[in-house]
Amino acid sequence: MNTGQEAFDMKKHLKHYLDWENSLEGIYYSLSVWGGASSGTEKGTHLIVEALSKLPRRVRERVLENVTFVVFASGQLGTGAVYQFQKSSKEAKKIGDDYSVTVKLPLIFLNFAGMEKKSKRYQMSTIAHEIAHYVLGHFDKGGSSHSGKDEKRADDLTEKWGFARGYKSYEPLRGKSR
C-alpha cells in the first residue's frame, strides 16, 4: 500500500471538492432559499449566488450555513433587512396532513419585484448590504428598523467587499428605502 500516493489522492480530491464548493454550482447547491418557482425568483436566486461568490470565503460559508433567503418576485414587502424569528422547535411536527417546516435562521427578505428596473450592480449591492447586516449582528436588534449608524456600517462593509454603497446620507433614515 502506497500511503504517500493515498495522501496525494486525498489532497487532490479535497482540492477538487473545495473548488466545486466555491463555484457558482456549489454555492447554489448550499443555498437555502424560499420563493415561488417563477422566472423572477430564479433570476433573484442567481443574483444571490453571484453576490455570495464575490464575498470572502469565510463570510460566504457562514451565510450559507446559517441564513435562509426569502425571495419575492412580486408583492408588497420592500427589500428587507434581516429578521430573527423565534425558534419553536428543530423537529418538524405533523399538523393534520401537513408538516411544519424547519428553517435556518435568520432570514433575509429580498423583493426583486421592487428592484426589477434597477441595474444588476444595484441589485447585487443590495444583496451584499443585507448580508452585511447579518454579519454585523444587526438581526439581533429585531428586524428592519436599523439606525443610520447601522446602515452606514453595513454600507462600509459592503464597500469593503467590492460592492457599491447603498445610501448617500444616513440621517434620518425612517421610512426611506435604498
Which CATH number covers residue 151?
3.30.2010
The boundaries of the domain holding residue 58 are 25-86+101-178
Q: DSSP letter for 131, please.
A: H
Distance CA(5)–CA(3), nearest Å, equals 5
At 68-83, the pLDDT tens digits run 888 876 653 333 444 4
Mean pLDDT on 2-12: 66
Look-up: residue for cell 428596473? 117
Residue 85: the pLDDT is 45
Mean pLDDT of the chain, nearest integer: 75
Residue 72: the pLDDT is 74
Q: How many domains does the chain fold into?
A: 1
**58 within a domain of the structure (yes/no):** yes
Q: Is the model more confident about 104 or about 124? A: 124
Q: What are the counts of helices (DSSP H) followed by strands (DSSP E) for the chain?
A: 6, 6
**70 within a domain of the structure (yes/no):** yes
Is the CB of residue 176 less than 8 Å from the CB of residue 155? Answer: no
As given in the structure block, the three cell numbers for residue 27 are: 454555492
At 87-112, the pLDDT tens digits run 444 444 444 444 555 554 778 888 88
